[in-house]
Chain A
Amino acid sequence: MSALLELREVEASYGPVKALRGVSLEVAEGEIVAVLGANGAGKTTTLRAVSGTVRRAGELRFAGAPLPRSPEAVARRGVAHVPEGRGTFAELSVRDNLRLGAYTRRGGGSRDDLRRVYGFFPRLEERSDQQAGTLSGGEQQMLALARALMARPRLLLLDEPSLGLAPLVVTEIFATLARMNADEGVTIVVVEQNANLALSSSARAYVLEVGRVAVSGPSDELRKAESVRRSYLGY
């Protein structure tokens, strides 16, 4: 198994505060991998280290080559990062947000492209002329995912897609993620507070504690593991 994404002893800090103290992880092509942990464990920073939105050190390889430093360049390699707070353009229309998603692809943003993405999120098609800022929270999260999908990424990085959303919407979004993974073969790394949800929808998981990987393994095994259950699942 050759890894699509490989992190070796990656460190990152915000000024004097060290957020990652040597994280190593591997993600295979086509996998869904969850990253769990308490607040401040370094989950978000791990994603940001990959997309280049935080200064980092250590070895980061993607599809066999080192990851570039700037976020623009990482995006051009086929990594789509949906940050916390979604990073959509509130002032632009839904369609323009989607067109931007395909920015790195030559001839991207065509009608066929849009149709493909609307297939996953039919509700966005009805709202295509609306300003993104006027969408509901769930719709905005869908827009963020749809925009990421427009780039035809090899790797999708998701930061707390369930944050602030109603349970029904969360279920819908995770079902769509599974479909994106199955139909398009997109590899997904998802950071989640909701450990139960994350473990049930991923193949493998990493649990972070103060900037290091504490436990890792297949998700169904982690669900049964005493320590994980007690700390993160709460039963």
Chain B
Amino acid sequence: MAEFWQQVVAGLASGGIYASLALAVVLIYRSTGVINFAQGEMATFATYLALTFINHGLSFWPAFWLTLLCAFAGGVAVERVVIRPVENRPVLTVVIVTIGLLILVNGLTNWIWGGAVRKFPSPFSTRPIHVAGVAFSIQDIGIIGVCLAAVVVLGLFFRFTKLGLALRAAALNPDASRLVGVRVSWMLALGWGLAAALGAISGMMVAPVVFLDPNMMQGILLYALAAAVLGGIDSPLGAVVGGLTLGVLLNLLGTYVSTLGGEMRLVAGLAVILAVLIVRPAGLLGKTAVRRV
């Protein structure tokens, strides 16, 4: 039983990482109807930035906050420069632009920092703590804490601030939002900034576990997409629930079903996407789109 609980907590830790990235994907999807395939690469770039700050003598948390600021500004800038010109084009055009962005950011990361695998410092101790006879890793608990805190802060922001309300309104009904004076186009940019910051959090949390390399987030993005689909691609709460569920599920499968360990986890993740799309296309918490014809 001890092993089971250890694996659940470890699963929640990876789940928290998937959840933050999934939430980033959902934020952009809700406001634009487009999945940003570059979300993972943007997070990797931000994580390299954090490493650079740390190598220049900053300790982890100041580097963390500075990276969040840079990621936010970077997200806003990317939206203004790259996405804005295609804002009103068909969805497919925008999707292809985000795929181009994926390749561009990945190339940029390789160009600036090289392709070598690097060690990324962890803010949390890796020694275990013992609770009721079960050994939990402090790092896992720290990761869960940081990811959940980010999600909760973002949730409060959306629910209780005027700007958060305007962001929601702009995503739900852009035309009506303009009529009440919301600058919808800037809300989209702000959404990109928030998503980029969330992605940066997931990057900085996962990097100490899996090591940092330019392709670090590609697998994670697949899990995040699986999580978003599982929870309902248009539901922020669904992204979080989906991320945590997926993390625990994959971890338990990997532990108890020997064939699903290691590389096969990714296959299991894709199987989850497929199964959800077949059984419940709108996801656990998503809304079924009804279209009158």
Contacts and interface: CB of A to CB of B under 8 A. Distances in A.
A75 B181 contact: yes
A89 B181 contact: no
A147 B169 CA distance: 13
B182 interface: yes
B175 interface: yes
Most buried by A among B165, B172, B184: B165
A195 interface: no
B217 interface: no
Given A99-B165, A103-B162, A103-B166, A151 B172 contact: no
B178 A70 contact: yes
B180 A104 contact: yes
Most buried by B among A72, A96, A147: A72
B119 interface: no
Interface stretch (A28-36, A80-88, A173-181): A80-88
B165 A83 contact: no
Contacts of A83: 175-176, 179
Interface string A69-113: 011100110001101000111111000100111011000010000
A83 B177 CA distance: 12
A57 B181 CA distance: 22
B179 A53 contact: yes
Interface in B155-183: 162, 165-166, 168-169, 172-173, 175-183
Contact of B162 (A72, A92, A109): A109
Interface string B103-134: 00000000000000000000000000000000
A148 to B, nearest CB: 8
Contact of B178 (A71, A88, A96): A71
Nearest to B179: A81
Given A87-B173, A92-B169, A151 B162 contact: no
A76 B178 CA distance: 10
A51 interface: yes
Given A53-B175, A109-B162, A103 B180 contact: yes
Given A91-B172, A100-B169, A103-B166, A76 B181 contact: yes
A87 B175 contact: yes
B175 A147 contact: no
A152 to B, nearest CB: 12
Contacts of B182: 72, 100, 103
B175 A151 contact: no
Nearest to B168: A92
Most buried by A among B162, B168, B172, B178: B178
A130 B228 CA distance: 27
B179 A75 contact: yes
B180 A75 contact: yes
Contacts of A87: 173, 175-176, 179
Interface string B255-286: 00000000000000000000000000000000
A72 to B, nearest CB: 5
A88 B180 contact: no
Contacts of A91: 172
Contacts of A90: 172
B172 A89 contact: yes
Given A100-B165, A103-B162, A89 B173 contact: yes
Contacts of A88: 176
B178 A72 contact: yes
B172 A92 contact: yes
Contacts of A71: 178-179
B66 to A, nearest CB: 31
Given A53-B175, A80-B180, A99-B165, 4 more contacts: A72-B184, A87-B179, A100-B169, A100-B182
Interface of A: 51, 53, 70-72, 75-76, 80-81, 83, 87-92, 96, 99-101, 103-104, 109, 147, 151
6 contacts: A72-B181, A75-B179, A76-B181, A81-B179, A100-B177, A103-B166
